[in-house]
Every structure is written in C-alpha cells, then in structure tokens.
A and B are shown apart, each in its own frame.
Chain A
C-alpha cells in the first residue's frame, strides 16, 4: 500500500468544510469586442497587424508584443490554417474516462503570430501536425460572439 492510497479519503478525518465562492464577469476588451462581432455577424476570423513592425496577431491584440506600439490595422485570416500540434484527450478534467477520445489542436495561420487551441473535428488517427484545416462555425443567427461560435477545425 502506498502513501497516496492511504490518504485519498481526506474527508474521513476531522475537518471543517469551506467554499471560496467567487463569480466573475469578464470583458473581452477593445480588440476582443471587434473580433467577436466579426465572428458573430460576418463569420470572419480577424487578426491585427502592427503598422510599425508588420507583425500580425491572432487572436487580435490592440498592442504589439514585439515593438510595444499601439496596433490599429485589422486583417482577415486566410481561410485555411495548419495544425501545428495535436493531442488526443482520453480523460476529462474531473479524472473520469471520456466515452470517446477527443482530438485537440493548435491551429496556426500563415503570416500570423499566435493561433487557436481548439477542437479538431476529425477522428483521432487523423489529428496530426501538418493537417490543413478550416474553421467550422455555428450557423449564422445562432452565434453569440464567443469562442464557442467556432465548433472546431476540420480539413
């Protein structure tokens, strides 16, 4: 018997229950507001371009992390991105086994810094770096202006 096995049920000891109750409302910010409006209303994925050093950012930033200037210019992303890295998830956040493994990927776009970590809408055996993918959006009218308006990325 290992040490961790002996102490897995901490609640069997004398204890005081407690709960840190905290609820949050977040702002998407100035750049985020525009990004999500474009996504919801026009089904477009947008980034920003630094007019000082030319770096293009996705998700869009209002400032350039490279040269630290304010960024004003908006540019649309290319339709296709590339999976830079993938992982196949078998265990949920709470430790339970998923009924079917899920494919997740880091999707990058040519000419842009950054990208999205999002669901890959492919069977796990196809989720590999190098796969060319496009965003699959929820239908117009059902989008709310959230990252979940993108259902995932598929070839």
Chain B
C-alpha cells in the first residue's frame, strides 16, 4: 500500500443550532481544508462523505443531498456510515482510496445537522432498539450508557469523581478551540457532580449534547506531497483499524470495549506499534461521555484496565501531562455533531502533529498520535494512528 498523508483540514463552528444548511456547512469545512492543502476541487480525484443517520438531518439519503456542498459532483463519490464511528471511519475510507492507488488526492467531508430533529435527536435514536423486545418498554439511549458506565465502575471499583474529572479537563481544554460549543474555563468537579441526573449514574455534564457542524480533511499520496512541496504540513497515516462486536449490547460484558481493542490491534500492527504506552505521544479517543474516554483509553492499550481514571486524577492526561488526551477539548468540550467530530479527532491529530494547533498545541514535542471513534449500536470502533 502507498503512503498517505493528511495535508489539510477544516471545520465549522460546532453549535446547538446553526443557520447554515448542511450543504453550506459542508462547503465551509471543505473549502477550509482545500485552502490549507493549497488545492482546488479539480485536484481532487475522489470524495468520501461521512454522515450519521438520515433521521438527524431529516433528509433521506443525505449523503447524496450533501454532495454539491462537499465537492463530489461528477467525481467518484461515496457516503460511509458507521454511526458515531463515522467521525474516524470516513478518513479510513478516504485512506484506502489513496493507499490503493485508485486516487492520488481524496477529500473526506463529514457533516451533521442534529438541530433539525425535534424535540430532540434522542426521539429518533430511540428507534435503534428492537421494535418487539425493547421498544414497547420505551427505553432511552442513555440507559445503555448508564448501564455501561455503571458496569465499568462496578467491575473496577472506580469512584464517580475520577470519571467526572474527564468532563472538567476536556471542557477546559476546549477553551483554546475556535469552534468550541462547550468550553468552560471555570468549570469545577463539583459542577459536573452536582449537575442533573439523566439516568443514574450519568449526569447532564457527563454527556456531550447534540450539535450542528461539519469538518473535512484532504488526503494525498507521497508523490503528491513531494510534487507540491507539502512535506512541512503533512501528517502521515501510519495505521488504520476498525471492528464491530455483537449486535446485542446485552451480549457483551460492558466493562471493556473489545471492539476498540481489536480495531487498535489492527491499526497498531500496520503502524508497527507493539508498546502503545511508550510509542504513542497523545490520543484523541471518542468522548461523547466522560467515562467513554477512560473506557476507550483502556481499549486502546494506553491505560491498564480500570486505571484510566487514576491517570486522569494524577494529571497524566492533561495537555502538559505525559500522555495528553483530547487536547482539542474533545466532544465534551468542542461539541458532538456526530460524524463531524472528524475535525476534533483526525483534524486535531493533524494540527498537533504539524504544529498548527495554536493555543491548543501540546507543549511537549509529539511525533505519534492515535484517534478513535465509537458508534453503530455502541459496539463499533474505528482507530487511526498518525505520525509527523
């Protein structure tokens, strides 16, 4: 396979409701990414679009609907969808377009407009449940997360405070992010702990709420990087992995994300990483809930099982710690327009590795980063390792 680099990235504001249409948001992010890559749409060989359920935007077949704003017209174009996992998976799909040699430059565009869905995207999310076994009981999606969080806390005897600290860290990290919806420089542990209980043990501030936004990245082959003299602004994709576990969340032991561990194993093998704790300098795991950052750090092999909370308490995962985690501010701090989190996962790895992260730049030098997204029916992981 050929070497593939990210050479440009862009993202819109993440907000609870934006006036722009999904097409306009897609355009804004894509134009930024192309400008950063010093390219025009004619330089792009193929376009991959990533966006979560049609039911959020309220436009059926929205990958096709968003095509014109995503620069895909009259090009090889596809939409990929792995639920929340799309935030990283679409870049993997873009990667294989270039790595295979089918394209020299691929554009990856992700969009979500969750504000269309009323009264709350939760109302359509309810329909991922089994229509006969579960739905007559009117379950809420947060129930799954509450039970998973509770199982994780129970198995490892983790205090709630160690989980809530993740929300505090990420909302503070997001203060330097120009797109952030949920940044809060003054937030305290007590604020999170005392916020409204949604479904015990999950509090309101443990969750990243719905959002509108878009993000895009430009991927290029090594030859393109050389020819266009983009080496100084290139971050290389070293390994990709993805994995899905059983459909039934009731079939899994919820305390450990096996799907992330397997996806990470696949990505690490390709990236020649056998000691992730020593070889990875920073991470952007998927953090729509604070406990998920910890869960995913353990799945990624960056923390021992049950110990990610302790690492957080000891400051290891702070931006200036030994292993900065979610230096972007993550979904908890920047926002959670599902697929558009591409901009705070792949995008943040790109900006950090090329020294373009501005106020968010990790003070220690970083050479290798890993990002991960989580989705489908809560049993899917996508992982990308990148290096400068």
* Contacts from A to B (Cβ < 8 Å): 16, 18, 20-33, 61-63, 65, 67-70
Q: List, in ascending order, chain A residues with CB within 8 A of B131's CB.
A: 16, 18
Assembly CA distance A54 to B131 (angstroms) = 52
Q: Is the CB of A65 within 8 A of B135?
A: no
Q: Is the CB of B24 within 8 A of A31?
A: yes
Q: Is the CB of A30 within 8 A of B24?
A: yes
Q: How far is the CB of A153 from chain B (nearest CB, A)?
A: 24
- Which of B17, B116, B124 meets A20, CB within 8 Å? B124
Q: Is the CB of B58 within 8 A of A28?
A: no
Q: List, in ascending order, chain A residues with CB within 8 A of B123's CB.
A: 21-23
Q: Is the CB of B24 within 8 A of A24?
A: no
Asked if B364 is at the interface (CB within 8 A of a chain A CB), the reply is no
Q: Is the CB of B55 within 8 A of A22?
A: yes
Asked if B188 is at the interface (CB within 8 A of a chain A CB), the reply is no
With A29-B19, A65-B68 known as contacts, the answer to whether A24 contacts B117 (CB < 8 A) is yes
Q: How far is the CB of A5 from chain B (nearest CB, A)?
A: 27
Q: List, in ascending order, chain B residues with CB within 8 A of A25's CB.
A: 115-116, 118
Q: How far is the CB of B7 from chain A (nearest CB, A)?
A: 17
With A16-B132, A24-B58, A24-B116 known as contacts, the answer to whether A65 contacts B20 (CB < 8 A) is no
Q: List, in ascending order, chain A residues with CB within 8 A of B69's CB.
A: 63
Q: List, in ascending order, chain B residues with CB within 8 A of A62's CB.
A: 24, 27
* Contacts from B to A (Cβ < 8 Å): 17-21, 23-24, 27, 30-31, 34, 40-41, 55, 58, 68-69, 71, 73, 115-119, 123-124, 127, 131-132, 135-136
Q: Is the CB of B31 within 8 A of A26?
A: no
21 contacts between A and B (CB under 8 A): A16-B132, A18-B135, A22-B118, A22-B124, A23-B119, A24-B117, A26-B58, A26-B116, A27-B17, A27-B115, A32-B21, A33-B19, A62-B27, A63-B23, A63-B27, A63-B69, A65-B73, A67-B40, A68-B31, A68-B40, A69-B31
Assembly CA distance A47 to B21 (angstroms) = 17
Q: List, in ascending order, chain B residues with CB within 8 A of A29's CB.
A: 19-21, 23-24
Q: List, in ascending order, chain A residues with CB within 8 A of B136's CB.
A: 16
Assembly CA distance A18 to B18 (angstroms) = 32
Assembly CA distance A33 to B20 (angstroms) = 9
* Closest Cβ neighbor of B118 among chain A residues: A23
Q: How far is the CB of A92 from chain B (nearest CB, A)?
A: 20
Assembly CA distance A16 to B130 (angstroms) = 12
Q: List, in ascending order, chain B residues with CB within 8 A of A18's CB.
A: 131, 135
Q: List, in ascending order, chain A residues with CB within 8 A of B24's CB.
A: 29-31, 62-63
* Closest Cβ neighbor of A68 among chain B residues: B41
Q: How far is the CB of A150 from chain B (nearest CB, A)?
A: 20
Assembly CA distance A63 to B17 (angstroms) = 21
* Closest Cβ neighbor of A32 among chain B residues: B21
Assembly CA distance A27 to B212 (angstroms) = 12
Q: A22-B55, A23-B119, A26-B116 are in contact. List 10 more A-B contacts (CB 8 A).
A: A16-B131, A18-B131, A22-B124, A26-B58, A27-B19, A30-B20, A30-B24, A61-B23, A63-B68, A70-B31
* Closest Cβ neighbor of A65 among chain B residues: B68
Q: How far is the CB of B328 from chain A (nearest CB, A)?
A: 26
Q: List, in ascending order, chain B residues with CB within 8 A of A63's CB.
A: 23-24, 27, 31, 68-69
Assembly CA distance A21 to B55 (angstroms) = 10
* Closest Cβ neighbor of B212 among chain A residues: A27
Q: How far is the CB of B116 from chain A (nearest CB, A)?
A: 5
Q: List, in ascending order, chain B residues with CB within 8 A of A69's CB.
A: 31
Assembly CA distance A63 to B69 (angstroms) = 7
Assembly CA distance A25 to B58 (angstroms) = 9
Q: Is the CB of A28 within 8 A of B40?
A: no
Q: Is the CB of A22 within 8 A of B58?
A: yes
Q: Is the CB of A22 within 8 A of B117?
A: yes
Q: List, in ascending order, chain A residues with CB within 8 A of B19's CB.
A: 27, 29-30, 33
Closest 3 CB pairs of A and B: A29-B21, A24-B58, A68-B41
* Closest Cβ neighbor of B135 among chain A residues: A18
* Closest Cβ neighbor of A24 among chain B residues: B58
* Closest Cβ neighbor of B73 among chain A residues: A65
* Closest Cβ neighbor of A23 among chain B residues: B118
Q: How far is the CB of B100 from chain A (nearest CB, A)?
A: 25
Assembly CA distance A28 to B71 (angstroms) = 20
Q: List, in ascending order, chain A residues with CB within 8 A of B17's CB.
A: 27
